[in-house]
Structures are given as structure tokens and as C-alpha cells.
Amino acid sequence: MAANPMSQFDVYRIGPEIKVGAFDISFTNASLFMILSTVSILLIFNIGSKKNSILPNKIQLLAELSYTFVSKMISDTAGSKAKPYFAFIFSLFMFVLFCNMFGMIPYTFTVTSHIIVTFVLAAFIFIGVTVIGFIKHGFGYLKLFVPSGVPAVLLPLIVVIEIISYLSRPISLSVRLFANMMAGHTMMKVFGGFVISLGIVGGWLPLSFSVALTGLEILVAFLQAYVFAILTCIYLNDALNLHH
Amino acid sequence: MVKKIYFQSIFFSFFFIKEAFAAESGGMPQLNPEFWVSQIFWLILTFGIMYLVLSKLILPKISNNLESRKSQILENIEAAEKQREDSDAKLKEYDEIISKSKLEANSIFNQAREKALKDIGAKREVLDRQIDNEIAEAEKEIDALRKNAPDKINKIAIETSSELLQKLIGAEVNNSSISAIVDDLSKRNGDKYYGN
């Protein structure tokens, strides 16, 4: 019968247990799909950048379109000052996108459906952006929490709210991606279970739902990668161009 | 009826499935910290390597490709523009040459016509002068002839009349008396004879 819809998120060891000190860094299915994603990204973009023809072939076009897409996204949201961080945001977008998309293949593991993965990414972005902000503006970066044009009476409240919203950035960023991935995959699994349990008579309805959900989930996979990248750009914009 | 049973069966089976899942579910695997360190380690490793390779090797190449294509396209557009300008200039030059040669042809034609007219005028003048000369000479000749004519006529008249008299009379006649008579006659009737 239908398996547990959460069992698709199980992480299990592949090969022997590797321990460094007290830490278990064994190779797992999550590691496998991280490697698969990065290797396919590197493969596609390496092939896409190898030949420089005036009329690009399909892979070159794919690589160049992704490049211009991300570069336009960055320049639109964070301006020209964000140019040095282009490679990072490009890697981030591609990594999240490929992990999401690999998760859409049946029997695969979705790396981004784990809170710890998205949280590490989000925390790294949060810390990095904060460090960049303090390097660029010194303690003036704290003006981010004091919006201009606010009545002095409301200021203590606003500052507290701003600080809380700033500190919740990594949580919202990581939970958004993780929850979207987990919910989508759980839902698909549940509907897939319905197809089996309802059999040949009643299984068609959840099957059609499943088909529609697959389309939706592919959209969500792209959209969440985009949202993740663009929110990073917006946070970076706050750090680079302090205009509160 | 069949439809109703179909949807009812679907509806009721939801309950069974829910129970089946409820029995199996054991919380979220995401919250099990067993493999957290492993996931963090592999994430940093794979993402780090990917970031390094992308930023150091691949992305500069792609941006280079895009730049070179852009510059090449711009160059080509520039070259095309230049060639268009060149061809425009050539066209203008060609037009100029054509209009100039037209003017030249016109002027040559005019010159030739003027020259021909001048030649014709000169020749006509020469001819006129020649004709005038010839006319003057002829007139002179005629004048001379006219002047000499009475004398000759007188002489002829004298000789004729002397011969006539000789034949009629058979005697030698004094020429001088005859000439006196002829002179006298011609003086009297000269006007009538010569129409002067």
C-alpha cells in the first residue's frame, strides 16, 4: 500500500560511515544529489561556454540566457555595485534550481526540502550581507533599522520591529524554500498514494491531480529558486545602497 | 447513478488512506539531526567547489563570449554603416560625374556650334569679299569695255564706211574726212546708241 508521504525525505547513508572526530560526515543520498546537481551545472555551463560562435548552439544559448537572466536580475534589484557578487548569486540560483528540478524526477531526493540545507544557505547569506553592510558603511549600517520620516514617538517601536524583521530574514528565507519543496512533494506523494489505493476505478481523479500538480511543482521549483536568488539580491541591495 | 457511486467510493476511500498514513507517519525526517552535519559538510563542499569553478573558470568565459559577440556585432554594424556611407559617396560622385559630363558635352556642342557658325561667317565673308572683288573687277572691265566701245565702234564705222565707199565709188577716200563725219555722228547720236 501507499508508503509514508514523508519517507521520501529520509536521509540514508550510502556506503560506509565516515566520522571526523565526533561528526558524522557520511556520504548520503542528499550528498549524492548535491553532487549530481553541481556536476550537471558545471557540465552544462562548461559545454555552453567552450565554443564561442556568433550563432550559439542550444547549450551555449542556454548558458548565455541564464547568464543574462541572472545578471539582469541583479542589476535590476541591487544595482551595479552588486557586480562582484554576481558569481555567488548565479551559483546560488543555479544550485537551488537544479536541486529543485532534480527533486521533480521520480525516486529522486530533493536536497532543498531539508531545512538544514536551506538554513545553512540562508544563514550564510544573512551573515555575508551583514558583514558586507558593516564593511561598506561601518556603524552607519545600523541606520537600516531607523527609517527616515518616522515620528519620534513611534521610533522605539519601529526600530524593534525593524530589528526583528532583519533577524528573521534567514528564517523566512530558509523556511520559504524548504516548506514549499516539502509541501509540494508531500502533496504529490499523497495524491500518488490515492491513485494506488483507489485502483483502476477511482484512481483517475487523483492521477489527473497528480499530473496537474507535477506541472505546478515544476513551476514552484523554478519560482522558489528565483525568489531565493532575488531576495538575496534585495538583502544585498540593502547592504550596498543604504537608503533608509 | 454510476457517477454517484464512483464519487462516493472516492470519498470514502479518503478515510481509509488517512488512517493508513496516520499509522505509518513518524514525524518529519527533516527534523532528525542525525545527518545534519553530513548535509552541511557536503553542501559546503559541493557548493564551494561549484562556486569556485563557476566564478573562476566558466562565468568569465561566458561574459567574454557575450562581450566579444556584442563587439563583433557592433563592429559589423559599423562596417556596414561605413560601406553604406561609402556607397552613398560613390553614388554622389557618380551623379556629379554624370552631370559634369553632361555640362561638358553641352559646352562642347555649343563650342562646336559657335565655331562652325564662326567658320561659316568667316568663309562667307571671304566669299563675299571675293565676290565683291570679282564684281568690282567685272564692273571695271565692263567700264573699260564701255569706255573703249565708242572708239572701237567709231573705228569700225570708219573702216567699214571707207571700205563701203571704196567698193561703191571705186576710189580711195580720205580716212580723215570719214572719221570726222563719224565722230560728228557719234557725238550727235552717241547717247541714243549707248543708252547712257
pLDDT at B15 over 60: no
pLDDT digits (tens, 9 = 90+) for A34-50: 999 999 999 999 999 88
CA distance to partner chain B, nearest, from residue A24 (Å): 6
When CB atoms are compared, the residue of B29, B65, B69 closest to A10 is: B29
Q: For residue range A232-243, what is the model confidence (pLDDT) as tens digits?
A: 999 999 899 887
Residue B47 has a pLDDT of: 95
- The reply to whether residue A34 touches residue B63, judged by beta carbons under 8 angstroms, is no
What ipTM did this prediction achieve?
A: 0.91
Closest residue in chain A to residue B71, using alpha carbons only = A54
Ordered by start, the domain boundaries in chain A are 7-240
Mean of pLDDT values over B68-92: 94
More confident residue, B20 or A215: A215
Interface subset of B 73-102, CB within 8 angstroms of A: 73
How does residue B1 score in pLDDT terms, banded at 50, 70 and 90?
Answer: low
CB atoms within 10 A of CB B24: 14
Task: Work out whether the CA dihedral B104, B107, B109, B112 comes out positive or negative.
Answer: negative
Which whole number is the average pLDDT over A187-208? 88
The answer to whether the CB atoms of B58 and A42 lie below 8 A apart is yes
Residue extents of the structural domains in chain B: 55-194
Q: How close is the nearest chain B Cα to the Cα of A160, in Å?
A: 30
B17, B57, B65 ranked by CB distance to A197: nearest: B17
Q: Which three cell numbers stand for residue B74?
A: 557592433
- Encoded amino acid at B176, one letter: S
pLDDT digits (tens, 9 = 90+) for A136-171: 998 888 888 888 888 888 888 999 999 999 999 999
Percent pLDDT > 70 in chain B is 82
Question: If you average pLDDT over residues A190-198, what whole number do you get?
Answer: 87
Asked if B54's CB is within 8 angstroms of A90's CB, the reply is yes
Q: Cβ separation of A193 and B21 shorter than 8 Å?
A: yes
- How near does any CA of chain A get to the CA of B78, in Å? 17
Q: Under an 8 A CB cutoff, do B38 and A31 touch?
A: yes
Per-residue model confidence (pLDDT) at position A40: 95
B69/A54 Cβ within 8 A: yes
Q: What local confidence, expressed as pLDDT, does residue A24 receive? A: 87
- At A81 the pLDDT is 87
Question: Has residue B20 got a pLDDT over 50?
Answer: no
3-state SS string for chain A: CCCCCCHHHCCCECCCCCEECCEECCCEHHHHHHHHHHHHHHHHHHHHHHCCCCCCCHHHHHHHHHHHHHHHHHHHHHCHHHHHHHHHHHHHHHHHHHHHHHHCCCCCCCHHHCHHHHHHHHHHHHHHHHHHHHHHHHHHHHHHHCCCCCCCCCHHHHHHHHHHHHHCHHHHHHHHHHHHHHHHHHHHHHHHHHHHHHHHHHCHHHHHHHHHHHHHHHHHHHHHHHHHHHHHHHHHHHHHCCCC
Cβ of A30 and B35 within 8 Å? Answer: yes
Say which residue, A108 or B20, is predicted with more confidence.
A108
